[in-house]
């Protein structure tokens, strides 16, 4: 026989098997079929006190407006809804494609069956660790050992720390929305340590190498592209340039969009951030390279005849179609090899621009604007290796202003401020 509940305890009673049960009314809810049902949150415990304390907590949370009974959806169901209703309308196409790949290829197989409300930091940490150890998906061109590949060295089975970082960041971003929607009380991904990634060393051109590279590029049909890259633009921003973005009269270039491969095809997308949309002043060396490039493209248009596909892009193939990033990178590295310059990534031309500007004493805020960084801290962190030299130059300038004049007939050593041999 069920015992009566105490005053103010809510619906608490003892079950025939000796356990205690409590219920909190949640009100009317509409089912997927459109039917209204009265729902309750049920709590069962071994003792009356245990259930009573849990009931008090539920009632207190309910009064504060907290959802005490989030829907019983799985992580997979939530992530699929988040992709379609939150990520897709708000982020760039390339970013959405990255989210979609991570969710479908990693998060759903690894965590999808878990109830969202039951997802724990321990489960997420284990999942990330497993990705590092054996999470790499097989490439389409990799054959199984049974197909005669057992004698060839097999690649490492785990994902790189950088890739696992991206997966962790995607989950963290999605769970932020789950918290806002009151589907889970906390973002468990924020309680998990992502793998540490060693920052790759920036190896830009020296001034001498940069001049050698641009001189070698004079005979290359992509001379103008390389010259623009030395202004610090991202590869996608360069490939997305249109002739209307370049003002030869004022020697300025407007970064308005980017060209990236999304879903297997080249697409015009928004710039990486709002600050990436910027105007860049063109030095004479770049302006001259673009004028020569314009002449080359006109010659290619004439040679192509009816095969020419008008696209309005500044940098195109020999028949006018948009250029692909990997093709540009391959041609760039071939040119480096041809002129005996160190092998580097195409993106290192952007690093070269920033490093050379900072080394010349250009203020980091100006460099930030040229590169299109969203925050100056990004600029300072990326190019911290250049800052000590800048500080040394500042110290030298202050010394020249503030140091007392040297005695007649003596020179002053900058390093020690001590007298040196008399000047003849």
pLDDT number for residue 66: 64
* 423, 410 Cβ separation under 8 angstroms: yes
Quote the CA–CA distance of 80 and 68 in Å, as a whole number: 23
Helices (H), 181-232: 207-216, 223-229
- Going by the DSSP 8-state scheme, the letter that residue 412 receives in this structure is B
Quote the CA–CA distance of 133 and 113 in Å, as a whole number: 21
pLDDT number for residue 254: 96
Q: At what angle do helices 121-134 and 161-180 cross, to 10 degrees?
A: 160
φ, ψ at 86 (rounded to 5°): -115, -55
For the domain bounded by 75-138+157-191, which CATH number is listed?
Answer: 1.10.150.130
- CA–CA–CA angle 24, 25, 26 (5° rounding): 115
pLDDT number for residue 418: 46
pLDDT number for residue 10: 57
Among candidate residues 73, 74, 132, 76, the one with its CA nearest the CA of residue 108: 76
Residue 315 CA: distances (Å) to CA of 319, 321, 360: 11, 9, 30
List 45's β-bridge partners, or say none.
Answer: 20
Residues of the chain predicted below pLDDT 70: 1-10, 29-34, 65-71, 137-156, 385, 387-394, 406-424
Quote the CA–CA distance of 154 and 149 in Å, as a whole number: 9
> Could you tell me which CATH class the domain 207-353 is placed in?
mainly alpha
Domain ranges of the chain: 11-63, 75-138+157-191, 207-353
Q: Measured in Å, how far apart are the chain's first and last C-alpha atoms? A: 114
Quote the CA–CA distance of 424 and 414 in Å, as a whole number: 19
Residue 261 CA: distances (Å) to CA of 163, 176, 264, 317: 19, 28, 6, 16
Residue 254 CA: distances (Å) to CA of 275, 282, 334: 12, 10, 29
Q: At what angle do helices 161-180 and 93-102 cross, to 10 degrees?
A: 100
pTM of the entire structure? 0.68
Residue 260, H or E segment = strand 258-262
SS3 346: coil
- CB within 8 Å of 343: residues ≥ 6 apart: 333, 336, 337
Q: At what angle do helices 348-359 and 364-371 cross, to 10 degrees?
A: 160
- Secondary-structure breakdown of the chain: helix, strand, coil percentages, each rounded to the nearest 5: 50, 10, 40
Residues in the chain: 424
pLDDT number for residue 43: 86
Residue 98: other Cβ atoms inside 10 A: 16
* 182, 114 Cβ separation under 8 angstroms: no
Q: How many CA atoms lie within 13 A of 61 on its CB side?
A: 17
| 251-272 CB burial, b ≥16 within 10 A, e <16 | eebebbbbbbebeeebbbbbbb
- CA–CA–CA angle 314, 319, 321 (5° rounding): 55
Residue 28 CA: distances (Å) to CA of 34, 39, 50, 64, 72: 12, 6, 27, 19, 17
* 322, 310 Cβ separation under 8 angstroms: no
The alpha carbon torsion through 339, 345, 346, 348 (nearest 10 deg) reads -100
């Amino acid at each position: 026989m069920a015992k009566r509940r105490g005053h103010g305890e809510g619906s608490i009673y003892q079950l025939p098997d000796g356990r205690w049960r409590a219920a909190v009314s949640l009100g009317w809810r509409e089912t997927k079929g459109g039917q209204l049902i009265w729902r309750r949150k049920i709590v069962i415990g071994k003792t009356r006190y245990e259930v009573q304390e849990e009931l008090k907590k539920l009632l207190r949370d309910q009064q504060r407006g907290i959802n005490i009974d989030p829907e019983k959806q799985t992580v997979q169901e939530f992530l699929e809804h988040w992709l379609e209703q939150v990520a897709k309308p708000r982020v760039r196409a390339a970013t959405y494609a990255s989210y979609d790949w991570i969710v479908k290829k990693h998060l759903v197989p690894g965590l999808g069956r878990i109830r969202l409300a039951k997802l724990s930091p321990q489960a997420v940490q284990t999942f990330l660790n497993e990705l590092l150890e054996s999470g790499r998906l097989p490439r389409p061109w990799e054959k199984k050992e049974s197909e005669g590949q057992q004698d060839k060295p097999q690649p490492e089975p785990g994902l790189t720390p950088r890739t696992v970082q991206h997966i962790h960041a995607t989950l963290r971003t999605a769970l932020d929305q789950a918290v806002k929607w009151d589907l889970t009380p906390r973002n468990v991904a924020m309680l998990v340590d992502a793998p540490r990634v060693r920052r790759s060393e920036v190896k830009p051109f020296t001034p001498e190498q940069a001049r050698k590279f641009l001189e070698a590029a004079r005979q290359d049909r992509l001379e103008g592209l390389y010259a623009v890259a030395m202004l610090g633009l991202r590869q996608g921003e360069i490939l997305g340039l249109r002739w209307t973005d370049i003002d030869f009269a004022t020697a300025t270039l407007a970064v308005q969009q980017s060209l990236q491969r999304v879903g297997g095809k080249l697409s015009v997308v928004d710039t990486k951030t709002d600050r990436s949309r910027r105007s860049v002043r063109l030095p004479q060396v770049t302006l001259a390279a673009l004028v020569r490039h314009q002449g080359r493209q006109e010659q290619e248009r004439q040679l192509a005849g009816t095969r020419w596909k008008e696209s309005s892009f500044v940098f195109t193939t020999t028949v006018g179609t948009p250029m692909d990033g990997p093709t540009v990178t391959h041609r760039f590295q071939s040119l480096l090899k041809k002129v005996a310059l160190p092998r580097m990534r195409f993106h290192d031309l952007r690093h070269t621009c920033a490093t050379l500007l900072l080394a010349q004493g250009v203020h980091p805020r100006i460099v930030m604007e040229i590169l299109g960084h969203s925050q100056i801290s990004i600029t300072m962190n990326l190019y911290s290796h250049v800052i000590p030299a800048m500080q040394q130059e500042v110290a030298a300038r202050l010394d020249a202003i503030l140091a007392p004049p040297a005695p007649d007939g003596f020179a002053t050593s900058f390093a020690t401020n001590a007298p040196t041999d008399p000047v003849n």
